[in-house]
A and B are shown apart, each in its own frame.
Chain A
Amino acid sequence: MIEILQEYWLQLLIGGFPHTPLGGLALTLVLAVSGLVLAMPVGLLMAVPLRSRLKPVRALAELIIFYIRSVPLLLHVLWVYFLLPAALGVSFPPAITMLITLVLFNGAYISKIVVAGIDALPRGQTEAAMSLGFGPVQTMRFIILPQALRNMLPSLVSQLSLLIKETALGAAIGATEATQTFLDLANNLPGQAIQAYALLALAYFALCYPLLLLGRRLERRGRRTAKIALEPAS
């Protein structure tokens, strides 16, 4: 395993870059982080109809989210891979196809996280802000969202580790992220394939496990501060 690392570390890290587009673990990280950053505004936008006062609007938003969550990510990837070029008349490189899919898919999950984060706040926050003369948008922007974001933080950290794992499906459409890179390498190393796969698993573990621990820690801390805040002042 050490020998594979010594021989191929650069390829595993960045793929054939700069001769080919960025690949390897670097592409996995770029896809996951940019996927999360772009999925945040999408999630916020999707949260608006979810909290609408009009029932049909709410129902439609719920339906769209139910659709996104009910279909395997792999099938979403194939949809975007085949239909987006057909619909727009331009074809995207596999990494971009993967990024678009990840943003839409995770946007749906994040919209639920946003709604839960907002609903967890006491109603008094909105009422107090309104009675102080804040408009609805200002209330949302300055009072509710900053607090909700803190509630959401543990879930967002877990979402990032999910995203890192989801990027592996890029291999299905030929995006040269970590899994594809290791698969290619294993093909060239007959007899050492199992070591390459063990190395691949270790790489994902090294990326995701710290995030798992961090998410757990933030959740515990959040619960503790929530408890303190709820205690009546005496």
Chain B
Amino acid sequence: MTLIEFLSGRYGELLLKGLTVTLQLSGVTLAAGFVIGVLLTLIRLSPFWIVRQAVGLLVDAIRSVPLLVHVIFWYFGAPELLPDGPRMWLYARDVNFICAAIAISIYAGAFISEDLRSGLRSIPKGQTEASLSLGFSGLETFRYVILPQAFRISVPPLLGQAMTITKNTSIALMIGVPELVYQAQRIQDITYEPFLPYASATLVYLAICTVLTLASRAYSRTAVKSRGAQA
């Protein structure tokens, strides 16, 4: 059986379903992870030392634990803590997908907040000083001078995170979310033939990463160009 024949049949359909779940899970977790990352970064700008330290430790702690353990915790552990009402509500829905999404979003949020923070820290102090001496208030300085520059610096690492998140969603198969690798594994269970399903899944990931890599390169080029135009 060739790859084309394999993909045009029933198995292609299964893989397509898996790809849809992978993309849904990646999209949801990227968006939620970004929001969590921004929130963590903002809290880490707090003037209180103890708050900064506590959030810093939390981010490090999240990053120190494997994603699989996060997923296991949120799927097997956390629902036990819920009162009966919300637990019933959760189990009436797609509990595997929801728990995987929560775990991956939190994990991604910690990494994104690190990217955003190093973006913020790479802005020279002179920018703040210059803007303050031009009469901007502290908040205006942050909003109009620092944030736009920091965001521009953070785009390539964020695209890198999008790649990492897409790959990380494969771990959701461990709790039975029917994403791409899960479907490949299922087809292998039916046909006893691992090569074609895994090759198809591999090609899909390669395609996704190629697109994101090209986007990141294109962005760096235009960013360099626009900075050159300003100078």
Contact = CB atoms under 8 A, between A and B. Distances in A.
A73 B202 CA distance: 11
Interface in B206-230: 206, 208-210, 213
Interface string A62-86: 0000110111111100110011001
B201 interface: yes
B181 A74 contact: yes
Nearest to A187: B76
**A interface SS class:** helix
A169 interface: yes
B194 A82 contact: yes
B76 A75 contact: no
Contacts, number: 108
A208 B170 CA distance: 23
Interface string B40-72: 000000000000000000001101111111101
Interface stretch (B77-85, B133-141, B142-150): B77-85
A68 B23 CA distance: 20
B60 A194 contact: no
Contact of B66 (A71, A166, A194): A166
Contact of B198 (A73, A75, A207, A212): A75
A193 B76 contact: yes
A74 B61 CA distance: 23
Contact of A78 (B68, B76, B171, B181): B181
Given A82-B198, A83-B195, A171-B174, A209 B64 contact: yes
A186 B76 contact: yes
A70 B64 contact: no
Contacts of B80: 193-194
Interface residues of B, number: 39
B98 interface: no
Contacts of A164: 66
B151 interface: no
A165 B77 contact: no
A72 B194 CA distance: 16
**B interface SS class:** helix
B65 A71 contact: no
Contacts of B195: 83
Nearest to A209: B64
B188 interface: yes
Interface in A143-184: 161, 164-166, 168-169, 171-172, 179, 183
A161 B61 CA distance: 12
A182 B208 CA distance: 34
Contact of A165 (B65, B174, B185, B209): B65
B206 A204 contact: no
Contacts of A86: 194
Max chain A Cβ within 10 angstroms of own Cβ: one of B60, B63, B69:
B69
B64 A71 contact: no
B65 A79 contact: no
Given A171-B68, A205-B64, 6 more contacts: A70-B205, A71-B167, A71-B202, A71-B206, A75-B202, A78-B184
| Pairs A-B, 10 closest by C-beta atoms | A70-B209, A208-B64, A168-B66, A194-B77, A82-B194, A165-B66, A72-B167, A72-B170, A197-B77, A168-B68
28 contacts: A70-B167, A70-B209, A70-B210, A71-B167, A72-B170, A72-B171, A75-B198, A79-B202, A82-B188, A83-B195, A86-B194, A164-B66, A165-B64, A165-B65, A166-B66, A168-B67, A169-B171, A171-B68, A171-B174, A172-B174, A179-B69, A186-B76, A193-B80, A194-B78, A205-B61, A205-B64, A208-B63, A208-B65
